[in-house]
Structure 1
Amino acid sequence: MGVAVKRAEPIDKREEDLMWSNGVLGDSSPQSLVDTMVYMCGYYFALRSGQEHRDLSFSQLEIIERDGLKVLRYFENTSKNNPGGLKHRKIEPKVVEHSENKNNPERCFVRFYQIYVSHCPPASKRTSDSFYLPPLKKKKDDIWFSGVPIGHNTLGKTVSRLCSMSGIKGFKTNHSLRVTAATRLFHAGVDEQLIMKRTGHRSIDGVRAYKRIADDQNREISDILNNENGPSKKRKIELDTCISEECTEIYSKTPFTLNITNCNNVCIKMTKE
């Protein structure tokens, strides 16, 4: 009682973009590749920072084809949400599917997974089925990673290390990836049941604990409060006719809805003046 619990903070999109731009995330080196796998698995599968990450294995992941897209499927093993035993025998393990990102292939989870697996030693040369493997000091042909799993302590400090390398402040941990996934889905207006399906929560109260206010939302609130007239309302502008030989210019400082009927040569410019 009276002790504030320090909670992992979500990673906003600007911070994530920074990690991509400075090469902390990516496939420029074996280390950045395995770090990217930790980041993406934690974020896209909404894994818990501890046991689920440590227990993640190659056998829990597979690629399938659906509607012309490659889909990476994750099968939950026993975890905090589903520890097994008679009490939980009717609970179905979490299954998450994530489709390839054709709009931005440079950050496609499925593509990075395939690259990573292609550089890992075959099952016959691994000491376990653990998914996260440390880079070799010297690459051996196409094999970039060792056959032994990454140590628990090293794995557990991955996100805090990546953020430190990028100069990102705040309490960022591996659990921040799960928090980030739930927070971004909440902000996008995704139904709570769909979020629970992704995170594996069995109660709405549990998943609602991940409703966090992101930095961009704080900025939006500040912008509203800085406006003496309150939040700007969208204006509706209708153009019924215009002269095709000339350009009709519309300047606005606030968002608006534009209804155009039988018009062309319309130029819309946003201005701060």
Structure 2
Amino acid sequence: MALDLPELKNEPVMDFNIGDILDIMETDSSAPNLSSPEVEIEMKNERFEPVSDDEIQRLIDSQKNPNTRKNTTWAIETFNKWRAERDNVPLLTEMNSESLNYWMQRFVLEVRKQDGSEYPPRSLYYIVCGLLRFIRDENIHNVNFLDEKDHRFAVFQRVLDARMKELLSKGLGTKVRQVDPILPENEEKIWNQKVFGMQSSLALQYTVFFYNCKLFGLRGYDEHKSLKCDQFEVGCDERGKYIRFHGRSSKTYKGGLKHIQLQNKDIKHYCLNGKPLAVGIRYGEQVLGINKIKGLMKEITGQAGLLGNFTNHSGKRTCATHLYQAGVDEQEIMSRTGHRSETAVRKYKRSNSVLLENVSKVLDPPKMMKFEEPLPPVINQENLSMNDSKEFDNQENVTRNPQSVFNNCVFNFKP
């Protein structure tokens, strides 16, 4: 029940406590009898609403990660194309454990890309994971061909392991192109190029997007798309002014049964040495499209003239890299980025160019020694004639000993 506040503006102000309210409810004869069957049925109808099977399935599907759904679709389509070129291969959902163990061995050895080349080992593993998710989505939960404890698939697991090692030995999957972080010198360049700032709505948009990534470790685009104003809180305490960010659902925190012991992000960032904000900033109500958000980091780095592999994922990598280079504890880095393990957060940390240069200097070979004069050539004395030998001896003495030194000698000079 909502109150119409304008109707109360001329009424006297009255203070109530919970005891007064209970007394009124007990003595008011006009109040409805909450225990009557009619009221109980009406309350039930207002409070609880039945749902259909389709609504339940839509709820489950809505909480699946889009990239995960895409990977599952790619995996089953790849399997079905392989199956179409094979004979007598049953549907994946119709195989028993023995059949799965048999055909999955052959699948991981025979599957190829559309151009006929072999998949890298990690991609092959992702395909197998996608097939397992597809089986789960079909409500088949009694098989898991990736479970080491399930001995029914022990042979398949050995084949998959050997195949991945073989692919790696061929050089497949050894070159992983990682996105680059925005290093401090690059960030300063972006400001100097006036890509960041408050001089235009576009510059303000770039600034807000980047520092949401850097300060609060937001991911590529999904967390930006779902941001709400009430997730930010501006306050002040004995340490100074701060912005507090309350995270919600993300890739690493969904809030379901598996994450019941985890907590959502709760970050307090103190505003110490930030750039000055202009007054009178106006914000539009139009929401940025998903494709626009996906390309923001490329626009920022492109306009600033930065060279490298920059994507929206560079924002979160920037957050982890800056904290890592400053010597911040890994646990604090994880609280900002949202990672749940040290192994995961270490993939985001990148050494800066100065540190890499120092490491290279330590490992470089020693500097080459410089000779003022070249060494004389080696000459075979046996092949020299008498005159040549004397001439060579004279040249050697002149070259090596420009000043003769005599010890314990007696000289007789004739007039």
Counterpart check, 1:199 vs 2:310: no
- Which structure shows the higher strand fraction? 1
Distance 1:24 1:58 in 2: 24
Shift of 1:12: 1.3
Any residues of structure 2 matched to 1:217-256 within 5 Å, and which? Answer: 217-224=355-362, 228=366
Q: Secondary structure at the match of 1:96?
A: strand
Shift of 1:84: 2.1
**Structure 1 residues 228, 5: CA separation in 2 closer, same or farther (over 3 Å shift)?**
closer
Counterpart check, 1:89 vs 2:227: no
Counterpart check, 1:52 vs 2:195: no
Distance 2:193 2:180 in 1: 21
Q: Which residue of 2 aligns with 1:239?
A: none
Q: Is the 1:157–1:173 Cα contact (8 Å) retained in structure 2?
A: yes
Shift of 1:222: 4.2
Shift of 1:89: 2.3
Any residues of structure 2 matched to 1:35-74 within 5 Å, and which? Answer: 35-74=206-245
Structure 1 residue runs without a partner (length 5+): 120-142, 230-273
Query: Which of residues 300, 303, 307 in structure 2 aligns to 1:165?
Result: 303
Q: Counterpart amino acid of 2:248?
A: N
TM-score (norm 2): 0.44
Q: Is the 2:244–2:266 Cα contact (8 Å) retained in structure 1?
A: yes
Shift of 1:26: 1.0
Any residues of structure 2 matched to 1:106-145 within 5 Å, and which? Answer: 107=275, 111=277, 119=281, 143=282, 145=283
Counterpart check, 1:155 vs 2:326: no
Q: Which residue of 2 aligns with 1:31?
A: 202
Post-superposition CA distance 1:213-257 (Å, at most 9, x none): 22222233345567959xxxxxxxxxxxxxxxxxxxxxxxxxxxx
Identity of matched residues, %: 32
**Structure 1 residues 30, 188: CA separation in 2 closer, same or farther (over 3 Å shift)?**
same
TM-score (norm 1): 0.66
Counterpart check, 1:175 vs 2:346: no
Counterpart check, 1:14 vs 2:152: no
RMSD: 2.1
Shift of 1:146: 2.5
Shift of 1:87: 2.1
- Higher mean C-alpha deviation, range 219-228 or range 48-57: 219-228
Q: Is the 1:12–1:215 Cα contact (8 Å) retained in structure 2?
A: no
Q: Which residue of 2 aligns with 1:127?
A: none
Distance 2:254 2:332 in 1: 22
**Structure 1 residues 196, 6: CA separation in 2 closer, same or farther (over 3 Å shift)?**
same
Q: Which residue of 1 aligns with 2:114?
A: none
Larger gyration radius, structure 1 or structure 2: 2
Structure 2 residue runs without a partner (length 5+): 1-120, 122-171, 368-415
Deviation beyond 4 Å, 4+ runs, structure 1: 222-229
Shift of 1:30: 1.1
Give the structure, 1 or 2, with the largest relative contact order (CA under 8 Å, sep 6 or more): 1
Q: Counterpart amino acid of 1:89?
A: I
Shift of 1:168: 0.5
Q: Which residue of 1 aligns with 2:349?
A: 211
Q: Counterpart amino acid of 1:195?
A: I
Distance 1:73 1:82 in 2: 18
**Structure 1 residues 5, 69: CA separation in 2 closer, same or farther (over 3 Å shift)?**
same
Distance 1:184 1:77 in 2: 24
Q: Secondary structure at the match of 1:181?
A: helix
Q: Secondary structure at the match of 2:356?
A: helix
Q: Counterpart amino acid of 1:23?
A: K
Q: Counterpart amino acid of 2:354?
A: D
Q: Secondary structure at the match of 1:63?
A: strand
Shift of 1:149: 0.7
Q: Is the 1:10–1:214 Cα contact (8 Å) retained in structure 2?
A: no
- Which structure shows the higher helix fraction? 2
Distance 1:87 1:16 in 2: 38
Q: Which residue of 2 aligns with 1:235?
A: none
Q: Counterpart amino acid of 2:337?
A: T
Distance 2:333 2:224 in 1: 19
